Chain A
């Protein structure tokens, strides 16, 4: 069964304290790995798509990387406005083709 697992469930950082969020996936055939940011009561906001192992993408203080089994979202010198839930999702060949399989998310809190 295709599965996406995120860790940790929650992460509290001080402003400027860099860290990483993990997304491990067990899928039949990965077409793409998506990262989204979600603010409370809002829909997910697209951040990155990664397609193949070794690929990296950056946007401001965020960098996403992909290996054959997991993806990392690195947050460098975070600010309070980075506080949100970060979701990863796989888009696959095979049985679940055509839809995204999401992890439960990591809730990030950045304190000033």
Chain B
């Protein structure tokens, strides 16, 4: 049984560009959350999607947006990239029993 799958694993972008990260949740999971983890820090909540709608949002600007598809997969989009957006982006999925499973993440470097 595949866990949470994220793509790509690594990405290098230039300031001002836009990026899209992708996540396929664990089988049986219908809720997807995205987290940003800066070096040496704990993950910070970005937003959560359920039934194709954003249900909760953390303290992130609207440059960060997302989408959930009918098959429960999700995308995270970041516009107008800043150097400070460099981080490990983690996707987590869960089912109703709220056990979270994390993917391996996408390492984004903004230069």
Binding site for B on A (CB under 8 A): 4, 6, 31-32, 34, 36, 41-46, 49, 87, 89, 91, 96-105
Contacts and interface: CB of A to CB of B under 8 A. Distances in A.
A43 B104 contact: yes
A103 B42 contact: yes
Interface residues of B, number: 26
Contacts, number: 60
Contacts of B65: none
Given A43-B102, A44-B102, A104 B45 contact: no
A45 B45 CA distance: 17
Contact of B45 (A6, A43, A101): A101
A89 B105 CA distance: 18
A41 B99 contact: no
Nearest to B3: A43
A43 B90 contact: yes
9 contacts: A36-B102, A42-B104, A44-B102, A46-B101, A46-B102, A98-B33, A98-B56, A99-B58, A100-B35
Report the 7 A-B pairs with minimum CB-CB distance, sorted nearest first: A102-B42, A43-B102, A99-B45, A98-B56, A43-B104, A104-B42, A44-B102
Contact of B90 (A44, A91, A103): A44
Nearest to A41: B107
A43 B103 contact: yes
B40 interface: yes
Nearest to B45: A99
Contact of A102 (B44, B55, B88): B44
B42 A34 contact: no
Most buried by B among A31, A34, A98, A105: A98
Contacts of B40: 104
A98 B55 contact: yes
Nearest to A105: B42
B42 A98 contact: no
Contacts of A6: 42
Interface in B36-93: 40-45, 48, 55-56, 58, 88, 90, 92
